[in-house]
Chain A
Amino acid sequence: MLEITNLYARLADGREILKGIDLSVGAGEVHAIMGPNGSGKSTLAAVLAGRDGYEVTAGSVTYLDRDLLAMPADERAREGLFLAFQYPVEIPGVNNMYFLRTALNAQRRHRGEPELDAGQFLRAVRAKLKELDIGEDLLQRAVNVGFSGGEKKRNEIFQMAMLEPRLAILDETDSGLDIDALRVVANGVNRERAPDRAIVMITHYQRLLDYVEPDRVHVLQGGRIVESGDKTLAAELERRGYAAFGDAA
Chain B
Amino acid sequence: MSAVADFPVKPEARPYLEAARGYSGEPDWLAQRRRQALARFGEQGFPSRRREAWRYLDLRPLEQAPLVPAEARWADGSAVRGQLDAVGLPAPAARLVFVDGAFSAALSAREGLPAGISLYATHEAVKTRPELVEAALEALSHDPDQPFAALNAAFFTDGFVLDVAPGVVFEPPIEIAHIGSGEVSASLHTRSLVVAGAESRIRLVESFVGEGRYWRNDVLALRLAAGSALDRVALVEESEAALHFAALDATLGPSARLRNFALLLGGDTVRQDAIVRSEGEGAHCGLYGAFLATGHQEANIVTTVDHQAERGETREIFKGVAAGRAHGAFQGRITVRPGAQKVDAHMLSRNLLLGTRAAIDTKPELEIFADDVKCSHGAAVGDLDEAALFYLLARGIPREHARRMLIEAFIRDAVEIVEPAMVREHLLGRLARRLAILEE
Residue of A whose beta carbon sits closest to that of B395:
A103
Q: Which label, helix, strand, loop or mixed, suits the secondary structure of the B interface?
A: helix
**Stretch of B103-111, B187-195, B278-286, B408-416 at the chain-chain interface:** B408-416
- From the candidates A100, A106, A142, A163, name the one contacting B401 in the complex (CB within 8 A): A106
Residue of A whose beta carbon sits closest to that of B396:
A77
> B386 to chain A: which residues have CB within 8 Å?
52
Are A106's CB and B398's CB within 8 A? yes
Are B408's CB and A73's CB within 8 A? no
- From the candidates A72, A93, A159, name the one contacting B393 in the complex (CB within 8 A): A72
Tell me whether A77 and B391 are in contact in the complex, defined as CB-CB below 8 angstroms, given that A91-B409, A92-B413, A106-B401 are known contacts. no
Annotate B381-420 by CB proximity to A: 1 below 8 A, 0 otherwise: 0000111101111111111011001101110110000000
Determine how close the nearest CB of chain B comes to the CB of A82; give it in whole angstroms: 8
Tell me whether A110 and B396 are in contact in the complex, defined as CB-CB below 8 angstroms, given that A93-B408, A93-B410, A94-B409 are known contacts. yes
Within 8 A of B (CB), among A80-103: 82-83, 85, 88-94, 99-100, 102-103
Determine how close the nearest CB of chain A comes to the CB of B321; give it in whole angstroms: 13
Tell me whether A74 and B402 are in contact in the complex, defined as CB-CB below 8 angstroms, given that A83-B394, A103-B395, A103-B397 are known contacts. yes
> A100 to chain B: which residues have CB within 8 Å?
395
Are A159's CB and B406's CB within 8 A? no
Determine how close the nearest CB of chain A comes to the CB of B393; give it in whole angstroms: 4
Q: How many A-B residue pairs have CB under 8 A?
A: 75
> B408 to chain A: which residues have CB within 8 Å?
93
Task: Please measure, in the bound complex, the distance between the C-alpha atom of A96 and the C-alpha atom of B158, giving whole angstroms.
Answer: 47
Determine how close the nearest CB of chain A comes to the CB of B212; give it in whole angstroms: 34
Are B393's CB and A102's CB within 8 A? no
- From the candidates B387, B398, B399, B410, name the one contacting A89 in the complex (CB within 8 A): B387
> B406 to chain A: which residues have CB within 8 Å?
91, 94
Task: Please measure, in the bound complex, the distance between the C-alpha atom of A106 and the C-alpha atom of B405, giving whole angstroms.
Answer: 14
Task: Please measure, in the bound complex, the distance between the C-alpha atom of A103 and the C-alpha atom of B399, giving whole angstroms.
Answer: 12
> B396 to chain A: which residues have CB within 8 Å?
74, 77-78, 103, 106-107, 110, 163
> A51 to chain B: which residues have CB within 8 Å?
390, 394
Indicate whether A49 reaches chain B with its CB closer than 8 angstroms: yes
Task: Please measure, in the bound complex, the distance between the C-alpha atom of A106 and the C-alpha atom of B402, giving whole angstroms.
Answer: 11
Within 8 A of B (CB), among A107-144: 107, 110, 142-143
> A73 to chain B: which residues have CB within 8 Å?
390, 393-394
Q: For B401, B405, B413, which residue has the most chain A Cβ atoms within 10 angstroms?
A: B405
Q: For A74, A82, A102, A142, which residue has the most chain B Cβ atoms within 10 angstroms?
A: A74
Determine how close the nearest CB of chain B comes to the CB of A107; give it in whole angstroms: 5
Are A91's CB and B394's CB within 8 A? no
Are B397's CB and A106's CB within 8 A? yes
Tell me whether A77 and B410 are in contact in the complex, defined as CB-CB below 8 angstroms, given that A89-B388, A99-B405 are known contacts. no
Task: Please measure, in the bound complex, the distance between the C-alpha atom of A100 and the C-alpha atom of B406, giving whole angstroms.
Answer: 14
Within 8 A of A (CB), among B338-394: 385-388, 390-394
> B401 to chain A: which residues have CB within 8 Å?
102, 106
Annotate B222-260 by CB proximity to A: 1 below 8 A, 0 otherwise: 000000000000000000000000000000000000000
> A94 to chain B: which residues have CB within 8 Å?
405-406, 409
> A159 to chain B: which residues have CB within 8 Å?
395
Task: Please measure, in the bound complex, the distance between the C-alpha atom of A142 and the C-alpha atom of B409, giving whole angstroms.
Answer: 10
Are A99's CB and B392's CB within 8 A? yes
Residue of A whose beta carbon sits closest to that of B414:
A93
Tell me whether A74 and B399 are in contact in the complex, defined as CB-CB below 8 angstroms, given that A52-B390, A89-B387 are known contacts. yes
Tell me whether A74 and B398 are in contact in the complex, defined as CB-CB below 8 angstroms, given that A52-B386, A93-B409 are known contacts. yes
Determine how close the nearest CB of chain B comes to the CB of A125; give it in whole angstroms: 15
> A142 to chain B: which residues have CB within 8 Å?
409
Determine how close the nearest CB of chain B comes to the CB of A81; give it in whole angstroms: 9
Are B397's CB and A89's CB within 8 A? no
> B395 to chain A: which residues have CB within 8 Å?
77, 99-100, 103, 106, 159, 163
> A90 to chain B: which residues have CB within 8 Å?
388
Annotate B258-272 by CB proximity to A: 1 below 8 A, 0 otherwise: 000000000000000
Are A88's CB and B391's CB within 8 A? yes
Residue of B whose beta carbon sits closest to that of A49:
B394
Residue of A whose beta carbon sits closest to that of B402:
A74
- Which 9 A-B pairs give the minimum distances between C-beta atoms? A93-B409, A77-B396, A103-B395, A89-B391, A78-B396, A73-B393, A74-B393, A93-B412, A107-B396
